[in-house]
Amino acid sequence: MPNIVYFEIPADDVARAREFYQSVLGWEIEPTRGPMEPEAIAAMQYHDIKTGDAGEGALNMGGLYRRQTSELITNHVAVEDIDGVLAKVEKAGGRILMPKMKITGVGLNAIIQDTEGNSIGLVQSETGR
């Protein structure tokens, strides 16, 4: 069964949001050093979030970035076959908001919308895990 493996929090003011989550929840939030292109990281002001130690059944990773439109928090779900899941979305009444794309060092990613207007990210790991 697909589990939530990552979340993203958009912010109008990344520094202000970073301070909020660090002071209220104690999260570690640092500029990303991930596989994204440096220009994209700078433009989005992307930061990695660590919410605690990894543990069985515990989600402990996320991202904080400068809001681009009116997006809300997005949870990302690990799937084994992103094409298979995407093929079911519109048949089930949803929409594909961002088509499948490759993220170097991560795998394949897409964003869908459910029947209630919520966005959900799909991630197929490039390592197969």
Same fold, 1-74 and 79-129: yes
Question: What's the whole-number mean pLDDT along residues 50-60?
Answer: 77
Class of domain 1-74: alpha beta
The DSSP secondary-structure symbol of 92 reads G
What is the average pLDDT score of the chain? Answer: 87
- Which region holds residue 126: left if phi is over 0, alpha if psi is between -120 and 50, else beta? alpha
pLDDT digits (tens, 9 = 90+) for 82-97: 999 999 999 988 999 9
> What is the chain's percent helix, strand, coil content, to nearest 5?
25, 40, 35
pLDDT exceeds 90 at position 105: no
What is the CATH code for 79-129? Answer: 3.10.180.10
Domain spans of the chain, in order of start? 1-74, 79-129
